[in-house]
Chains A and B, each alone.
Chain A
Amino acid sequence: MTWINERLNIRYAIWALGIVIFLAIPHVVDDKLLMHLAILGMLYAIVASNWDLTLGYAGVFNFAHLAFFGIGAYTSGILAVKLDISPWLGIPCGALSAALASVIVSIPAIRLRGIYVALLTFACSQLVLLLLLSQPLITGGQQGLTGVPQLQIGDFRFRESRFAHFYLVGLLLLCSTIFLRRLVTSDFGLSLIALRDFEEYAVARGIPLARQRLLAFLLSSIFPGLAGGVYAHFLIVASPDIFGFSLTTLLLSMVLVGGVATIYGPVIVGVVMTYVSELMASSAWMSDVFGISRGPVRFMFVAVLIVLTMRFFPQGVWGLVKQFSARVRSSQKDAPEEPAQMR
């Protein structure tokens, strides 16, 4: 039992260290752009890791997760701008709208497979975008919904603080990650893996396919909906760009490069990729070297990264970390071997 205690201690130590570093960041980092990107990265990490629940664990090729994020953003934004409803009520309403949308999308999607699910969910996502664009008086149309109020508690305004958004979004990411990890290590998570690995065998062991997949969609839409609401109040705008193919590709790359069916991978890579891709968009040297305008450079980088990941390390970054740690453990003679499983 000593090795188990040791591993638990190491795990708690890593968590504690991570939290201390996280709390210290806004007090140490003075760069406003860096802090802005960190917040944006954490919001994207929430969407990517929740996407991983349906894509990685449930094996459903779903492309609707950014729509859930967008629905959260627009719901909270519209409630605040048009109905003067507090963002603190609007944000949970955004999560509810996203959850409702996930159920509507999942009903036709759960019985389909492979490319058909991808097409259906992508079509649903574009349908939401077209609906938003068709109602410019409410949604702001192509220009997006502007004038979304910033978050505040009493007289304390979040945008005027160096750490308020950072801590709020960090807390949301922490809650989302703990929620997802609890889900995937529960019997519910087992059932999703079973359905993904061998659908016929899974239903032969009593797993209700439709209910479990619907639940996977529903449970993975709540935090993206919340994140969308916070996003709108953080940027004080809800833009139709959220539904664009570029952002979809960026978030998909976070799941694939981070490691499919790992949760932690998309969380870590989500934050890093946001920073790297934004850095590429704002720096000149890449476009100077390759002679390409700044905008497309980062998306070309993302595309190349996806291809390289799929070709050379399909298990992703977190998969590599797990492989490495399994190798280290097995090299320790006195430590019992544990399977290097990918979940």
Chain B
Amino acid sequence: MTTLLSVKGATKKFGELVAVDNVSFEVNEGEIYGVAGPNGAGKTTLFNLITGIPYQADDGSVHLRGEEITGLSPHEIYELGIARTFQKETAFDTLTVGENVRIGAVFGTELRPEEYEEAVEQALADLDLSADRDRLAGELSLYAKKRLMIASAIVSAPSLLMLDEPAGGLNVAELSELEELIRRLSRGDMTIIIIEHVLPLLFGVSNRVMVMDFGKRLAEGSPEELARDDVVIEAYLGERGKDAFHAISG
């Protein structure tokens, strides 16, 4: 397997707080790599360090296909093929859905005008947003906004898509659709890193998962391995929760 992304010793401090503490991991081309951990574990901060939005790492390095991208500006990182979404549903509310997606195609890609028109159409269709093309993004529902955010990320055909809690606030039917969407994107040659609190979704789609807690990398492995890992269970449920979990699961 070829390594697409390699993060070595990433560290970020906010005063005394070490939000990300010497975290290293690698993501292979074509895989779905999950990042799990309780609130405040440093998952989103890790995403921020990779993409340079809104800050860079204090220490450590990030490599994409072997080339160092540490310290590059966010738009340069996007140009190199890393597109991310945000934890909170985000869109340019005063622009239409079509224009939101168009921005992702026009900037930071080498597409010609006739090609990005086509790419926009395709991304809208893939995310079931074609009918909303001329609506203002601010009028969309939460789920539609989340889909729009993904559409504007995939329109540039990134080599790495980073999804930050895409399932937050969705109902069961929407979760099922999202799971299918992530699988579909992965089948189309896209490498995906996904942060998610909805563990059935995360463990269901990921090839490998890294668990973080207090800014550190706690464990990494396949979803099956991690589901039985005492350290991971304790991080989520605490010492007493772990015992209860074992009592219930036998």
Tell me whether B134 and A194 are in contact (CB under 8 A): no
Are A200 and B54 in contact (CB-based, < 8 A)? yes
Query: In whole angstroms, how far apart are the Cα atoms of A196 and B69 in the complex?
Result: 26
- Chain A residue nearest to B108 in the complex (CB): A206
Across the two chains, which residue of chain A brings its CB closest to B113? Answer: A187
Interface string of A199-227 (1 = CB under 8 A from B): 01111111111000000000000000000
Q: How far is the CB of A199 from chain B (nearest CB, A)?
A: 8
In the complex, whether A115 has a CB less than 8 A from a CB of chain B is no
| B106, B109, B136 — most chain A CB neighbours (10 Å) | B106
1/0 contact string of B75-100 vs chain A (CB within 8 Å): 10011000110100011111110010
Question: Which residues on the B side are within 8 Å of A342 (C-beta)?
Answer: 94
Interface residue range, chain B:
20 to 34
Contact among B54, B93, B139 with A197 in the assembled complex (CB-CB below 8 Å): B93
Task: Please judge, given known A-B contacts A194-B95, A341-B94, whether A205 and B104 are in contact too, CB under 8 Å.
Answer: yes
A202 and B53 alpha carbons, distance in the complex (Å):
10
CB < 8 Å neighbour of A204 from B74, B96, B134: B74
A320 within 8 A of B: no
Given A209-B75, A339-B96, A341-B96, A202–B51 Cβ distance below 8 Å?
no
CA distance A145 to B99 in the complex (A): 48
- Min Cβ gap B162→A in Å is 10
Distance in angstroms between the alpha carbons of A339 and B100 in the assembled complex: 15
Report the minimal beta-carbon distance from B43 to chain A, rounded to whole angstroms.
17
A338 in the interface (beta carbon within 8 A): yes
| B94 and A207 contacting across the interface, CB-CB below 8 Å | no
A208-B136 contact given A190-B99, A198-B92, CB 8 Å threshold: no
Would A207 and B136 count as touching, CB distance under 8 A?
A: no
- Measured between C-beta atoms, what is the minimum distance from B143 to chain A in Å? 18
Tell yes or no: B44 within 8 A of A by CB.
no
Q: Which of A193, A197, A200, A205 contacts B107 (CB 8 A)?
A: A205
> B156 in the interface, Cβ–Cβ < 8 Å?
yes
User: Contacts A209-B75, A338-B134 given: A204-B95 contact, CB under 8 Å?
Assistant: no
A16 to chain B, nearest CB (A): 28
Q: Which residue of B lies closest to A342 (CB)?
A: B94
| Size bracket, chain A contacts | 20 to 34
Question: CB of B152 within 8 A of chain A?
Answer: yes
Establish whether residues B53 and A203, one from each chain, have CB atoms under 8 Å apart when the complex forms. Answer: yes
Scan A318-343; emit 1 where CB is below 8 A from any B CB, else 0.
00000000000000000000110111
- The answer to whether B92 touches A339 (Cβ under 8 A) is no
Is B135 in the interface zone, CB < 8 Å from A? Answer: yes
Given contacts A206-B75, A339-B134, A341-B96, contact A194 B84 (CB under 8 A): no
Once A204-B74, A206-B79 are accepted as A-B contacts, the answer to whether A190 and B103 lie under 8 Å apart by CB is yes
**Given A193-B95, A205-B152: A187 in contact with B90 (beta carbons within 8 A):** no
A191 interface contact, C-beta 8 A: yes
Residues on the A chain within 8 Å of B136, using CB: 339, 341
Contact of A206 among B86, B93, B109 (CB under 8 A): B109
Given A190-B95, A198-B90, A201-B90, are A208 and B103 also a contact pair (CB < 8 Å)? no
B157 to chain A, nearest CB (A): 12
Question: Is the CB–CB distance between B75 and A203 below 8 Å?
Answer: yes
B62 CB to nearest A CB, Å:
15
Per-residue contact bits, chain B 16-54, to A (CB 8 Å; 1 contact, 0 not): 000000000000000000000000000000000001011
Per the bound structure, the CA–CA distance linking A115 and B143 in Å amounts to 35
Is A207 in contact with B134, judged by CB distance below 8 angstroms? no
Complex CA–CA separation, A209 to B78 (angstroms): 13
> Is the beta-carbon distance between A194 and B135 smaller than 8 angstroms?
no
Chain B contacts for A198, CB-based, 8 A: 90-92
A107-133 interface mask toward B, CB cutoff 8 Å, 1 = contact, 0 = none?
000000000000000000000000000
In the bound complex, do residue B102 and residue A190 qualify as a contact, i.e. CB atoms below 8 Å apart? yes
> For B106, what are the chain A residues with a Cβ–Cβ distance below 8 Å?
187, 190-191
B96 touches A202 (CB 8 A): no
Residue from B83, B92, B96, B156 whose CB has the most chain A CB atoms within 10 Å: B92
B176 at the interface (CB under 8 A from A): no
Quick one: given A194-B95, A339-B134, A339-B135, are A207 and B90 in contact (CB under 8 Å)? no
B222 interface residue per 8 A CB criterion: no
Give A328 Cβ to nearest chain B Cβ, in Å.
19
How long is the Cα–Cα vector from A191 to B73 in the complex, in angstroms?
17
CB atoms of B74 and A203 under 8 A apart: yes
A208–B73 contact, CB under 8 A?
A: yes
The docked-state distance in angstroms from the alpha carbon of A191 to that of B102 is: 10
Cα–Cα distance between A260 and B102 once the two chains are bound (Å): 24
Q: How far is the CA of A204 from the CA of B158 in the complex (A)?
A: 12
* Assembly CA distance A343 to B94 (angstroms): 7
The smallest C-beta distance from B95 to any residue of chain A, in angstroms, reads 6
- Does B94 contact A191, Cβ atoms closer than 8 Å? no
Residues of B within 8 A of A339 (CB): 96, 134-136, 139
* A–B Cβ pairs within 8 angstroms, 11 of them: A193-B94, A193-B95, A197-B94, A197-B95, A201-B91, A203-B53, A204-B86, A206-B156, A208-B107, A209-B75, A343-B94
Report A's interface with B, CB cutoff 8 A.
187, 190-191, 193-194, 197-198, 200-209, 338-339, 341-343
Given contacts A197-B95, A206-B156, 7 further A-B contacts (CB under 8 A): A193-B95, A201-B91, A201-B92, A204-B78, A207-B75, A207-B103, A208-B107
